[in-house]
């Protein structure tokens, strides 16, 4: 008998980072820069789930960081934040605020060229919501973006003002990082600032997440998005999506996807399927178009609906179906 224990998985830091900031500050540019891929293209869509994962990125941290020096950052979007009034929007905003507070780190992006973004003392009222969201998190990174377009003599005072602002908030673990997301300047320091603040724990996703597995995962997200987009009011949070098959067919240069929409009751299934199957057909068409755009090739999508009573309350509840790796359809 061998007494060799199975190798321990290498320790890693892993967690969620909420990105908040007004439109146009450069959030998508940053993620594209970090990932070097176009996966972020899926983001400018309505918020459908509380923590919407944009990207997963695994990095090696610099030597001055306490081990473990590998970190997996799952970037989540909080797009409900700058919406206007109305009950649903308020609800979305509350969810987005809660999402920011739920994450391990918040990243507030500021456009340093925007006169409104020039300093904490000169913020406009519309900055209040992103700022409030970011402040829900104790570890807080402020990225001053587009510094390539800020004159050198202006930059240091700007950073200083934010430092002063931070000193008045000692309860936060704050780091201010000037970056140019477009060129990548400072982005390495930024991801390290996020990564070093993540708790030690098991990796949340496979390390090669930002590959075809990510696409498979995002396929589920896109279908879920269509589901909530088209049925949101009728089916709040009772439906989940599992991608069961994801097959790239090299010969045909297309992708075949089989996905199951899981609901809790027959009545919900009837809603999803619709009269004579009209609803699910519509859903399939919209999801297929979005998937095809994401993957950059034709997509064949087989959608089914399955009833699993109380799945969202079960042990394998909504988190597992939605976001945690499992044998089902997750990467």
Catalog residues that contact Mg ion under the rule CB under 5 A: 27-28
Does the protein bind ligand GDP through residue 155 (CB under 6 A)? no
Residue 128 φ then ψ, to 5°: -60, -40
Region 40-59 residues binding ligand GDP, contact defined as CB under 6 A: none
- CB of 23 or CB of 67, closer to ligand GDP: 23
Q: Which of 137, 141, 188, 133 shows the shortest CA–CA distance to 162? A: 141
Q: Is there binding between residue 309 and ligand GDP (CB under 6 A)?
A: no
Q: Is 173 in the site for ligand GDP (CB under 6 A)?
A: no
DSSP string, 191-204: HHHHHTTSPB---S
Using the minimum distance from each CB to ligand GDP, give the nearer residue, 128 or 278.
Answer: 128
Q: Is 28 one of the binding residues for ligand GDP (CB under 6 A)? A: yes
Cβ nearer to ligand GDP, comparing 29 with 47: 29
265 lines the binding site for ligand GDP (CB under 6 A): no
Tell me the closest approach of the beta carbon of residue 292 to ligand GDP, in angstroms. Answer: 22
Q: Are 51 and 76 in contact (CB under 8 A)?
A: yes
Dihedrals φ, ψ of 62, to 5°?
-65, 165
Q: Which of 105, 101, 97 is nearest to 173 (CA)?
A: 105
Is the Cβ of residue 23 or residue 199 nearer to ligand GDP in the bound state?
Answer: 23
**Binding of ligand GDP by 36 (CB under 6 A):** no
In the chain, beta strands by DSSP E: 13-20, 52-60, 70-77, 105-111, 139-145, 173-178, 240-249, 254-263, 299-307
Nearest approach in angstroms of CB 307 to ligand GDP is: 38
Give whichever of 44 and 314 is closer to Mg ion, judged by the CB atom.
Answer: 44
Query: Contact region for ligand GDP (CB under 6 A) — 69-77, 97-105, 176-184, 198-206?
Result: 176-184
Task: Determine if 117 is a binding residue for ligand GDP (CB under 6 A).
Answer: no
* C-alpha–C-alpha distance, residues 159 and 135, integer Å: 18
CA torsion sign for 149, 140, 116, 99 is positive
Nearer to ligand GDP, 14 or 129 (CB): 129
Pairing state of beta strands 105-111 and 139-145? parallel
Would you say 256 and 249 are in contact if contact means Cβ atoms under 8 Å apart?
yes
95 binds ligand GDP (CB under 6 A): no
Is 146 one of the binding residues for ligand GDP (CB under 6 A)? yes
Of residues 210-239, which lie at the interface with ligand GDP (CB under 6 A)? none
Token readout for 110 is 């500021």
Using CB under 6 A, list all residues that contact ligand GDP: 21, 23-29, 145-146, 148-149, 180-182
């Amino acid at each position: 008998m061998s007494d060799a224990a199975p190798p321990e998985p290498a320790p890693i830091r892993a967690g969620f980072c909420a990105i908040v900031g007004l439109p146009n500050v450069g959030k998508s540019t940053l993620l594209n820069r970090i990932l070097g891929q176009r996966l972020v293209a899926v983001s400018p869509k309505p918020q459908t789930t509380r923590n919407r994962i944009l990207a997963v990125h695994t990095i090696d941290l610099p030597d001055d960081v306490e081990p473990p020096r590998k970190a997996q950052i799952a970037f989540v979007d909080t797009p409900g934040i700058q919406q206007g009034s109305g009950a649903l929007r308020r609800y979305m905003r509350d969810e987005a605020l809660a999402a920011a507070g739920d994450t391990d780190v918040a990243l507030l992006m500021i456009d340093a060229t925007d006169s409104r973004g020039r300093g904490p003392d000169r913020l406009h009222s519309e900055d209040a919501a992103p700022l409030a969201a970011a402040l829900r998190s104790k570890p807080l990174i402020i990225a001053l973006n587009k510094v390539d377009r800020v004159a050198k003599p202006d930059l240091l005072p700007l950073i200083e003002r934010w430092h002063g602002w931070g000193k008045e908030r000692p309860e936060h673990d704050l780091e201010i990082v000037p970056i140019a997301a477009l060129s990548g300047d400072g982005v390495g320091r930024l991801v390290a600032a996020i990564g070093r603040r993540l708790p030690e724990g098991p990796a949340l996703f496979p390390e090669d997440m930002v590959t075809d597995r990510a696409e498979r995962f995002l396929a589920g997200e896109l279908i879920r998005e269509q589901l909530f987009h088209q049925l949101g009011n009728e089916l709040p949070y009772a439906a989940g999506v599992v991608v069961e098959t994801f097959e790239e067919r090299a010969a045909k240069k297309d992708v075949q996807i089989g996905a199951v929409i899981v609901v809790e009751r027959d009545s919900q299934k009837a809603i999803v399927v619709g009269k004579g199957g009209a609803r699910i057909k519509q859903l399939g068409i919209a999801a297929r178009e979005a998937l095809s755009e994401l993957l950059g090739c034709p997509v064949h999508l087989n959608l089914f609906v399955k009833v699993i009573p109380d799945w969202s309350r079960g042990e394998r509840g909504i988190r597992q179906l939605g976001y945690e790796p499992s044998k089902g359809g997750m990467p």
